[in-house]
Amino acid sequence: MQYLSNFHSHCSFCDGHASMEAFVQYAVSKGFKAYGISSHAPVSFTTRWAMNYDDLPEYLQEYRRLKAKHSPEIELYVGLEIDFLPEEKDAVFQMHSSLPLDYRIGSIHYIDSFPDGTRWNVDGDPKTFKKATAEVFGGDIKKLVKCFYTQTCEMIDTCSFDIIGHMDKVAGNSAQYPEFSITDKWYIDLVKDTLTLIKEKGIILEINTKALHRKRVTFPHQQFYSLIKEMQIPVMVNSDCHCPDLIPSGLEETYQALSALGIKSVRILKQGKWTDMPIEQTPCLVS
Ligand SMILES: [Zn+2]
Ligand SMILES: [Zn+2]
């Protein structure tokens, strides 16, 4: 039996490049058995990528329509990718805990603002990242990275999320800084502490394959797979797709890499329950 799944995906309710239905149809056409929709949850400031608060009812309604239409050929689930902002955590928790979601992905995209109050995104363009390092952290990249992981740990500590999304996204900018290598001890220690907390709280760690084909890295980086195995942290593999044809992107290669290291299963939703699915039963993907 083959069992294809993906639980981190976007669509035109946020910054995805096609309708929710187009994503679902593509997943069905490629033989996916389970698919989760996880648009960026609304935030309190203007962005070009988060969903509008007023669109939430329609988001849930469209999901229910598609679930009814495509059952039983695919199991559909609905979640949100939620930004954890420490100063807004109570309001954010109230917003998403009242919604009928199947799961919640907690992700860090913002760790601070410029002095004029403008938000900057750790996943944004390298120039803005560099400017933020200079203007917000006094040019100290280690300070910025530590701040990212402190916020990540604060998010995990709330236990309000089922899944931690792209845990080490901040490392995507390490090439710009000679003093920041992901093989440095100070950095590995930060990742270890974060993984220890994830394990302690029993949260699922996402292996995010969005950048695998373009940049040859996953989030968390491949160098941490052995540690993840050693710590027996439950993982799931997601493509964080913004276009339908990228739904399968990087999944097969990542399953093979995890399997080669002895990670035997991924945790997914099956018939509405978190289930450890043996990796041998996951894909050989149709291209
Ligand atoms: Zn994200
Ligand atoms: Zn995402």
Instruction: Sketch out the chain's domains with CATH numbers.
Output: 4-281 (3.20.20.140)
Ligand nearest to the CA of 210: 2
Cα gap 269→191, rounded to integer Å = 26
**pLDDT of 282 higher than 70:** no
Ligand nearest to the CA of 15: 2
Helix (H, G, I), strand (E, B) or coil at 140: coil
Ligand 1 centre distance from Cα of residue 232 (Å): 24
Ligand nearest to the CA of 169: 1
Ligand 2 centre distance from Cα of residue 200 (Å): 24
Per-residue confidence band for 175, with pLDDT thresholds at 50, 70 and 90: confident
Ligand 1 centre distance from Cα of residue 1 (Å): 31
pLDDT digits (tens, 9 = 90+) for 136-162: 999 999 999 999 999 999 999 998 999
Ligand 1 centre distance from Cα of residue 265 (Å): 24
The mean pLDDT value of the chain amounts to: 94
**pLDDT of 1 higher than 50:** no
pLDDT of residue 59: 98
**Residues bordering ligand 2, an ion, CB closer than 5 Å:** 81, 240
Average pLDDT over residues 176-189: 94
Ligand 1 centre distance from Cα of residue 21 (Å): 21
Cα gap 94→1, rounded to integer Å = 40
Ligand nearest to the CA of 14: 2
Q: What is the pTM of this model?
A: 0.96
pLDDT of residue 123: 86
